[in-house]
Structure 1
Amino acid sequence: MNDTIKKFGHPATLIAEYDHWLILLRPAQPTLGALVLAAKSEATAFGDLPAEAHAGLKVATAAIERALMQAVGYAKMNYLMLMMVDPHVHFHVLPRYEGDRSGAGLTVGDAGWPGQPDLGQAIKLDETQIAALVGWLKPYFA
């Protein structure tokens, strides 16, 4: 696994795995169910991914949207490709909603709604909370 994947807590944060992509729980939750969609590749530019990885986005994003609609009931989905600190290709996936959402003993509001997501207001999870949220979300991806 590349260093970006490791930084986001793999394997403890792993929710689902595809041929070219991993879906990880984001260890800091600006909204409930925030994920990281990380390419397994060593590529540091989106255009450098193989064509199969681009095609695989269809499967991974469809799974994310289906699962998080069931789990969180989001109104909009944001995919942020920031890659400023963590160089390997990845997206921060943020379900967006008005008000609060609860799951696995955690309640999280969307501080930026209806504007840009407020990543600075993210709840930093401890190991117990990570395990609980991963356990809560995994069945939605089955």
Structure 2
Amino acid sequence: MHRNATYETFGGDRTLVCDYAHWSVQVRPKQVTLGALVILAHTDAVAFSDLPVEAFAELATVVKDVEAVCASTFANTKVNYLMLMMVDPHVHFHVLPRYDAPVMFEGTPYSDPGWPGQPNLAVSEGLPAAARVANRLRSAWPKRQV
């Protein structure tokens, strides 16, 4: 499977949750909110419009899986998607589960410091390591044939 450089920027295989034909879902190494993810296109495209039509079609499945698994695993209130591609140029979305109250993960409560406003992208201290979050999400993710 083709991997672009942005895949390694976001932790590579250590943070990989699920591969699809055109996308990967990875746990964001710097958790902004509990369960923060990255949906990354497998191509070298740096413009959303350069993706193949099949990638757009598959994105619907990826987003449904992301939202269902985050809801069942973390009981988040909302999900925010950011597509900035300023530092890491390949097509990707940051996925931020949002919480209106503290949520428990492995016996520790975590809050969303930006709620109900914009997510606070500068905060990642005190949140669990990406590998721990990835392990939890991998076990909950629907099994897909790539």
TM over 0.5: yes
Aligned residues: 140
Q: Distance in 2 between matches of 1:63 and 1:18?
A: 11
In structure 2, distance between residues paired with 1:53 and 1:124: 35
- The one-letter code of the counterpart of 1:141 is W
**Cα deviation 1:67-115 (Å, max 9, x = unaligned):** 0000111111101001010000000000111122232465431111001
RMSD: 1.6
Q: Aligned partner of 1:94: which letter?
A: L
Q: Secondary structure at the match of 1:123?
A: coil
Identical aligned pairs, as a percentage? 45
Residue number among 46, 49, 64 corresponding to 1:44 in the alignment: 46
Tell me which amino acid in the other structure corresponds to 2:131: A
1:33 aligned partner: 35
Q: Which residue of 2 aligns with 1:134?
A: 134
Deviations 1:21-54 (A, max 9, x none): 0000001111110000000010000000000001
Unaligned runs of 5+ in 2: none
Which structure's residues are more often strand, by fraction?
A: 1
- The aligned residue for residue 5 of structure 1 is 7
Per the normalisation by structure 2, the TM-score is: 0.89
Q: Give the corresponding residue for 1:59.
A: 61
Q: Is there any run of 5+ residues in structure 1 with no aligned partner, and where?
A: none
What TM-score do you get using the length of structure 1 for normalisation? 0.92
